Amino acid sequence: MVAHNNQIFKVVIIGDSGVGKSCLLKQYMTGEFVSTYSSTIGVDFLVREKFVSNPKDDRLTRVKLQIWDTAGQERFRTVTYSYYRHADCILLVYDVTESDSFSNIERWLGEVRKYVSETMPIALVANKTDLTDRRVVSKLQGQQMATKHSLAYFETSSLDRQCLESMFDTLTTRMLARREEDEIKIMDVDKIRLHAGKSEKVSTSKCCYQ
């Protein structure tokens, strides 16, 4: 059964220039591999609609993913930072054939942590895994980095779509669960406020009759 409510999630892809962020997004959205891609100027985004099983009751929920592709160049960092605040998920991408892009992960994380909540899903994405003969960052190194910073870890390829669908499905499910938890917390706070308001009215009423 399809749930009537629609959910919109903002996913922001970050990482050094040249790690394959735009190619990854293009492959996920269209199934096309682009071998040459000019560097993103500022930010760009695409939207994909999908149905995801709700972890709470197994209903299918219609979800719209707004996936933002950001520039990795230093001169665009101030623009990129402004998109963190209202994100529901961050994909931090590095190139397994470029050790510098992996070394910069902690710097990226340091900036991200300034703007997002501790509960926001952040995924460490090892991209270009199809280039096995050029790989310099091992899977173990990636997993250890993810464990160190409590990140989800995925290995992807913009060429053969490795893990793309399952990665976005997993992260969307987590975002959906997180939003429902937040909504429950808000409802609980509203109930407490309502109860407190009623108690105050009763107390004031009794005072008037003394």
pLDDT tens track for 44-81: 789 999 888 776 667 788 999 999 988 755 444 555 56
11: which 2 tokens?
Answer: 């996913």
Rg (CA), the chain: 21
Report the phi/psi class of residue 146: left, alpha or beta, with left for phi > 0 and alpha for psi in -120 to 50: alpha
DSSP state of 183: H
Whether residue 172 contacts residue 63, with contact meaning beta carbons closer than 8 Å, is answered with yes
Tell me if 199 is assigned to some domain. no
- Tell me the whole-structure pTM to 2 decimals: 0.79
pLDDT number for residue 145: 98
Tell me if 201 is assigned to some domain. no
pLDDT per position as a tens digit, 140-199: 999 999 999 999 999 999 898 889 999 999 999 999 888 888 666 555 454 455 555 565
For 26-64, what is the HEC assignment? HHHHHCCCCCCCCCCCCEEEEEEEEEEECCCCCCEEEEE
Tell me if 194 is assigned to some domain. no
Tell me if 31 is assigned to some domain. yes
Kindly report the CATH number assigned to the domain that includes residue 135: 3.40.50.300
Integer Cα distance of 15 and 102 in angstroms: 9
pLDDT per position as a tens digit, 78-121: 555 677 778 999 999 999 999 999 999 999 999 888 888 888 89
Tell me if 133 is assigned to some domain. yes
Task: Look at the chain and report how many structural domains it folds into.
Answer: 1
Structural domain boundaries enclosing 114: 2-181
Integer Cα distance of 210 and 195 in angstroms: 23
Tell me if 142 is assigned to some domain. yes
- For residue 90, count CB atoms less than 10 angstroms from its CB and return exposed for 0-12, middle for 13-18, buried for 19 or more: buried
Integer Cα distance of 156 and 31 in angstroms: 14
- For residue 16, count CB atoms less than 10 angstroms from its CB and return exposed for 0-12, middle for 13-18, buried for 19 or more: buried
Cα 137 from chain centre: 23
Tell me if 196 is assigned to some domain. no
Looking at residues 16-20, what average pLDDT do you find?
90
Tell me if 122 is assigned to some domain. yes
For 71-199, list the strands marked E by DSSP: 89-95, 122-127, 152-155
